[in-house]
Structure 1
């Protein structure tokens, strides 16, 4: 597992004033723009180029991951298998001008890794800003800014995360990333799954318009396909800007593979025409680890643990690699002890980590919603688009079997562990369902609020993927309000739902409280979309309950 070490140099003071951070972000952001597509000389057409940005990720007190992709020749496009081996020099410095080089080296980019480069740098100082860049064949990449994690015993007064999920290239632009990058006050960018989508062009655009077409145009199945799709995403300039300014911590969900994926297949996979599922999943995982600044903790998985001083530890889950097939709606299999969403080893790892935690807060990066949700009270005109959005049958929908609701034995064991061991201040951070939620997590929903809750959950909406108003072709916050009222009435632990908006969250963590500020975009189909704050909810230390906050954290 990825665990921090304590053998690091003394930390430099963390800048606390937002205007200082924002100035640094704007300075770094200016360097994100490609240098004339990799060079300004007459040889630019044949010189290696950095067309897919740079990124850092998985910060530790003494290290972090650096990432880029070099295009050594014009034909060496993602997924092509073309292009010669190319030496890439990386440098990490303590200053923007690179006068104080702290670490450097040379790695070889090759077609075997789709010309991606990933370096796990160690021996760094804790809680310290660094700048990094890459050079190949005389061409220098944009400059990125990153920061290591604090020491394990550091007493932090604040940690701030940008939180997002569900980014469908075809459905809209990634303005959410631009607005997160422009803040200048984020310690980490946390992505909770569905970084890419596997569908063929036009298949998952409820609004009826492909804003910008996928590459390749067909559904992705092979290693070359997944590499090509990842490569297309990494050309987005808003995505590049955010990655270059803030270290990324990411987990996958189903669409990095195929809709409603499980260990042995997926709803959107037909073996007779699309081949062996294990081969498809292996290809998808290989491309993911090539193209993402993620340090695999166990071969082929993303579950791992990061720590931020004594303030918080972050337990990151993989709820696709080990899960049993989703139960059929209405069957008795949902409660079966023979079915799992985590797998035995991962559930034991999570329970052990929660028990051993000595931080104020325990954050869980969680692909699918753990709070129970009953949908049976929804009117038919909302039930059908919601079921379609979730990839479920349109009739008789009582629960979403792709969520923890479909794996109640594992959920009961995990929540029982929190309850029985008195583990408080546990916050689930979730994406997946293209809507925003704030909820208490009750051990027994039927007896809530009398029985109380054992954790809380904040769900962020989609960056661009379709939600209810898109499927209904109506203005947001109109017909969906009927569904919101029905959901909240039938699920008393759910304090707020927004079924329509696209956007992101900003999670502010202090010793006193964890607060999620929800931001929405004006129009996902416009590259210049604006953003505005819409709601905030928080959980105070020791409460295990969410409450409304009336302003975002400044």
Structure 2
């Protein structure tokens, strides 16, 4: 079923009419081409019942381009209103943009009403930014009828266009958009994929602070990404490509110590640029793990699975060691204690890499290499993906046993990374499932653009991947569905009775005007801990 697919022009035109999304800043005085400009749009994120984080980047003079370290400080006024015409301004203030933060601006606005839509904008030197729309979360003691989130991950600029963002930006029914990581990629041009659909900047692999700033800025030149940020608050966590592929505590697969500086220096540069350019509040130890609430209906626990993890092992040796961690002990304690203390009906966990155990050994041998390439792991002897929770089974067992022993139901893992759509039960013991129970469920969203199995094989969707999908499901009875072929996004809707994920796929990642189609819907009912197929998407 093809949705009523908005064109890029339609999205921009409609948004301009409501002052929600504009492709570039509009000048309100003569001579703005030599003065301040807002070339990178606006954004909001991390909504609270009484506030939200607002973001923009101002170019004070033409030479003060991202990553340059050049340009004077400039005063930036901000305002928040209850209407698109800004006739009912409820909050305003002034902040300074300086070269020290790449002339980015972040304002943590408080004192707003819960569960309310607002409009916001910035002004510098008489030049006004595009306007954005945001929304606060429900009050702590409220009982909202539903929470609806767009869900995305893995957006490689060179692999295609961001039509998934355009389709989400056009929806007026979302409370927020959850980005599960790989917001950008660190590679040089032509490294991944080998034949770019378009080219990012800088052309070389990003290593320094200036590099990461330029790459973030170049992503924000994409009109669909700007439209997404201007239309909805974005709740984001990082995975590995925000720094380098297969990152861990002291290094990464795609980092060469010495030739590319030290890992500590490179990671610090990537983290600084990320918090400058993303509408994200830094939490404990400058990471992205934190918790947001949606009244008594749902808590959203957001994980950082790169900063504290041990190095990935090759093959399967050592994956069960109690000395190995993917979360770090402090973060796992924070998660388990937060789950126990929560009074919410649903426990949503923003989980950058898959927690469900998956054995790939039954997949036909000629497909193991392409699947490993899709997963970004070494191809030799692929049986499990040790970059996922499968490589850190002690942490997974501790978390899942906690859910069982504490009687915590309605836990839903929301996952990215793997460039495929999945719907899974999460068993405590996969070997004896379904005789042994599931203790949670998992909805995995495919990539916005990054390579899927059919991209790597160079075949049509639904051909060779059918063999791999069938083999995975036969060997992993808790996997209810997997789509290895498509790019797209998902929409999660949570009510007291159920949590449902509607999965959408795009017609062609290389087409900036790609259409969107609903492909499947899966849900888990209150108290069940099992995934079942839904007959229809959420209205």
TM-score past 0.5 threshold: yes
Q: What secondary structure does 2:170 align onto?
A: helix
Q: What secondary structure does 2:366 align onto?
A: helix
Q: What secondary structure does 2:394 align onto?
A: helix
For the pair 1:442 / 2:430, whether they are aligned, the reply is no
For the pair 1:293 / 2:261, whether they are aligned, the reply is no
**Match of residue 302, structure 1, among 288, 307, 310:** 288
Using the alignment, how far apart are the partners of 2:14 and 2:123 within structure 1?
A: 22
- Deviation digits for residues 358-380 of structure 1 (CA, Å, limit 9, x no counterpart): 11100000000000000001112
TM-score for both structures, normalised by structure 1: 0.94
Cross-structure match for 2:486: 501
Query: Which residues of 2 match residues 186-335 of structure 1 at below 5 A?
Result: 186-205=174-193, 208-331=194-317, 333-335=318-320
Cross-structure match for 2:21: 32
Cα contact 1:147–1:247 (8 A) shared by 2: yes
Cα contact 1:28–1:144 (8 A) shared by 2: no
Using the alignment, how far apart are the partners of 1:427 and 1:391 within structure 2?
A: 25
Using the alignment, how far apart are the partners of 2:79 and 2:306 within structure 1?
A: 35
Cα contact 2:36–2:58 (8 A) shared by 1: yes
Deviation at 1:168, TM superposition (A): 0.2
Using the alignment, how far apart are the partners of 2:378 and 2:106 within structure 1?
A: 41
Q: What secondary structure does 2:443 align onto?
A: strand
Query: Which residues of 2 match residues 43-122 of structure 1 at below 5 A?
Result: 43-122=31-110
Cα contact 2:28–2:127 (8 A) shared by 1: no
Q: Which runs of 4+ in 1 moved over 3 A?
A: 22-31
Using the alignment, how far apart are the partners of 1:414 and 1:520 within structure 2?
A: 32
**Match of residue 472, structure 1, among 449, 453, 457:** 457
Cross-structure match for 1:419: 404
Q: What secondary structure does 1:230 align onto?
A: helix
Runs of 5+ unmatched residues, structure 2: 1-10
Query: Which residues of 2 match residues 355-366 of structure 1 at below 5 A?
Result: 355-366=340-351
Cα contact 1:171–1:465 (8 A) shared by 2: yes
Runs of 5+ unmatched residues, structure 1: 1-21
Using the alignment, how far apart are the partners of 2:294 and 2:122 within structure 1?
A: 28
Range with greater deviation from structure 2 (89-98 or 518-527): 89-98
For the pair 1:124 / 2:112, whether they are aligned, the reply is yes
Cα contact 2:29–2:127 (8 A) shared by 1: no
Deviation at 1:121, TM superposition (A): 0.6
TM-score for both structures, normalised by structure 2: 0.96
Deviation at 1:393, TM superposition (A): 2.1
Q: What secondary structure does 1:183 align onto?
A: coil
Q: What secondary structure does 2:431 align onto?
A: helix
- Deviation digits for residues 30-89 of structure 1 (CA, Å, limit 9, x no counterpart): 552245x54275512212110101011111111110000001111111111111101100
- Deviation digits for residues 451-488 of structure 1 (CA, Å, limit 9, x no counterpart): 01000000000000011000000001110000000000
Using the alignment, how far apart are the partners of 2:511 and 2:22 within structure 1?
A: 20
For the pair 1:378 / 2:363, whether they are aligned, the reply is yes
The change in CA–CA distance for 1:114 and 1:392 in structure 2 (over 3 A counts) is: same
Using the alignment, how far apart are the partners of 2:13 and 2:224 within structure 1?
A: 17
Cα contact 1:434–1:461 (8 A) shared by 2: yes
Using the alignment, how far apart are the partners of 1:293 and 1:344 within structure 2?
A: 27
Query: Which residues of 2 match residues 125-144 of structure 1 at below 5 A?
Result: 125-144=113-132
Cα contact 2:504–2:517 (8 A) shared by 1: yes
For the pair 1:172 / 2:172, whether they are aligned, the reply is no
Q: What secondary structure does 2:274 align onto?
A: helix
Deviation at 1:23, TM superposition (A): 13
Using the alignment, how far apart are the partners of 1:306 and 1:29 within structure 2?
A: 28
Using the alignment, how far apart are the partners of 1:536 and 1:198 within structure 2?
A: 33
For the pair 1:463 / 2:448, whether they are aligned, the reply is yes
Q: What secondary structure does 1:335 align onto?
A: coil
The change in CA–CA distance for 1:30 and 1:516 in structure 2 (over 3 A counts) is: same
The change in CA–CA distance for 1:28 and 1:120 in structure 2 (over 3 A counts) is: farther
Q: What secondary structure does 2:252 align onto?
A: coil
Using the alignment, how far apart are the partners of 2:482 and 2:204 within structure 1?
A: 34
Using the alignment, how far apart are the partners of 1:458 and 1:91 within structure 2?
A: 37
Using the alignment, how far apart are the partners of 1:529 and 1:41 within structure 2?
A: 37
Using the alignment, how far apart are the partners of 1:24 and 1:194 within structure 2?
A: 29
Using the alignment, how far apart are the partners of 1:491 and 1:446 within structure 2?
A: 9
Cα contact 1:28–1:245 (8 A) shared by 2: no
**Match of residue 405, structure 1, among 370, 378, 390:** 390
Using the alignment, how far apart are the partners of 1:553 and 1:27 within structure 2?
A: 28
Cross-structure match for 1:337: 322
**Match of residue 521, structure 1, among 500, 506, 511:** 506
**Match of residue 473, structure 2, among 488, 496, 507:** 488
Count of residue pairs the alignment pairs up: 529
